[in-house]
Structure 1
Amino acid sequence: MFVRSIYVTGDPAKIDTAVRALNTEGRDLLEERPGYRGAGVFVDRELGKLMGVSWWDSEEARHNSDEVMREHRPALLEPFAGTLAVENFEAAVVHPVQAPRVGGGLRVSRVEFDPADADLLAETFRSTVIPRLETLPGLARATLLIDREHGTGRVGTLFVDRSSMVASRAGQAAARHEGAAKAHVSVTGLEEFEVVHSELRLN
């Protein structure tokens, strides 16, 4: 599968306006597009950050959908959005454990790697990181998203509630350290979000 991610910052007091628009008009627009497999909306209300993710069954479907979404995105995100970044990834690993829940937590690690090590990263995530993550209570899903061309990626771990996410910090830090060393990866950022919506149809 393939993923488009939007990363938006703005006035925290206006973030709920964007959330409502994405979960209504935005979701309706996505549902109409061929190849759509699901979406997620995640927020940091305190700082005023919003991340939206949409899942697609092919690069072509993702590209075609973006032509439509690009037209509507500014109106959906007003008046919250001050900055907007759009990124595209391949879903190298998707490991579902249980259904995510509204109000749960998402931890995102930003990584950089030599593009030649993309397959090493994916294999290390499957064989080394996933078994460590599976021991963390409350884990809902773990994903590895990569951009093979530019050598960037995102590791996302969803937890069913915020308390599970908080309790997992030490355990995931150990898994992150081991995985980064084995896969020759640099971790360039670490963030946590509240789960507003998360849907992914794997079949």
Structure 2
Amino acid sequence: MFVRTVYATGDPAQIESAIRALNSEGRSLLEERPEYRGAGVFVDRDLGKLLAVSWWGSEEARRNSDQVMRERRGPMLEPFAGTVAVENYEVAVFHTVQLPRVGGGVRMTRVEFDPADTDLFIETFRSSGVPRLETLPGFARCALCVDRQRGRGTVGVLFVDRASMAASRGGQAAARRQDVAKARVTVVALEEFEVVHADVHTVQADVHAG
């Protein structure tokens, strides 16, 4: 699979308007596109941050869908968004234990690495990171997404509730410390969001892209 992420920041008082637009007009537009595989909306209401993720069956489908979404993205995010950043990734690992829930939590880790070490990073996360995450209470789903050309990636870990996410911070930090050294990656950002919507369908429990 392939994903597109839209990261917007703005006035926290206006974030609900963006959430409503993405969950109504935005979802309808996405569902009309070929090879659409689902979407997620995650927010930090206190700081005014919104992360929208859409999942696609092929790189071509993702690219074609962006031609439509690019025109509507600005109006849907108004008047909330002051900044908007769009990025594209390949889904290297996708693993689900249980379905995420509205009101749950997601921890996003942004990393950078030498493009030559992409496969090392993927294999380390698949063989070491995923088993450790499965031991965390409340763990629901994780996904590793990579940009092989730029040497960038994201690790998203979803929990069924925000209390479980908070309780997992120490455990995931310990796993992160070991895995980043082994995989030769650098953590450049760590964020947490509330799950507003998370749905990915017609995929296997695990996706490994080499």
Question: Normalising by the residue count of structure 2, what TM-score does the alignment of the two structures yield?
Answer: 0.96
1:99-178 paired onto structure 2 within 5 Å: 99-178=99-178
Q: Which amino acid aligns with 1:179?
A: D
1:46 paired with 2:37, answer no
Give the superposition deviation at 1:155: 0.4
SS of aligned partner of 2:20: helix
Counterpart for residue 72 of structure 1: 72
Q: Which amino acid aligns with 1:146?
A: V
Partner Cα distance (1:64, 1:142) in 2 = 26
SS of aligned partner of 2:34: coil
Offset from partner CA, 1:166-201 (integer Å, 9 cap, x none): 000000001111110110000010000000000001
Counterpart for residue 200 of structure 2: 200
Partner Cα distance (2:43, 2:188) in 1 = 20
Partner Cα distance (2:131, 2:33) in 1 = 35
Q: CA RMSD in A?
A: 0.5
Counterpart for residue 187 of structure 1: 187
SS of aligned partner of 2:90: strand
Counterpart for residue 31 of structure 2: 31
Counterpart for residue 207 of structure 2: none
Give the superposition deviation at 1:123: 0.3
SS of aligned partner of 2:42: strand
Partner Cα distance (2:53, 2:188) in 1 = 20
Counterpart for residue 208 of structure 2: none
Give the superposition deviation at 1:76: 0.5
Counterpart for residue 6 of structure 1: 6
* Structure 1 runs, 4 residues or longer, greater than 3 Å off: none
Partner Cα distance (2:143, 2:59) in 1 = 18
Offset from partner CA, 1:6-36 (integer Å, 9 cap, x none): 0000000000000000000000000000010
Q: Which amino acid aligns with 2:146?
A: I
Give the superposition deviation at 1:137: 0.5
SS of aligned partner of 2:179: helix
Give the superposition deviation at 1:127: 0.6
Question: Normalising by the residue count of structure 1, what TM-score does the alignment of the two structures yield?
Answer: 0.99
Identity of aligned residues (%): 69
Offset from partner CA, 1:136-159 (integer Å, 9 cap, x none): 000010110000000000000000
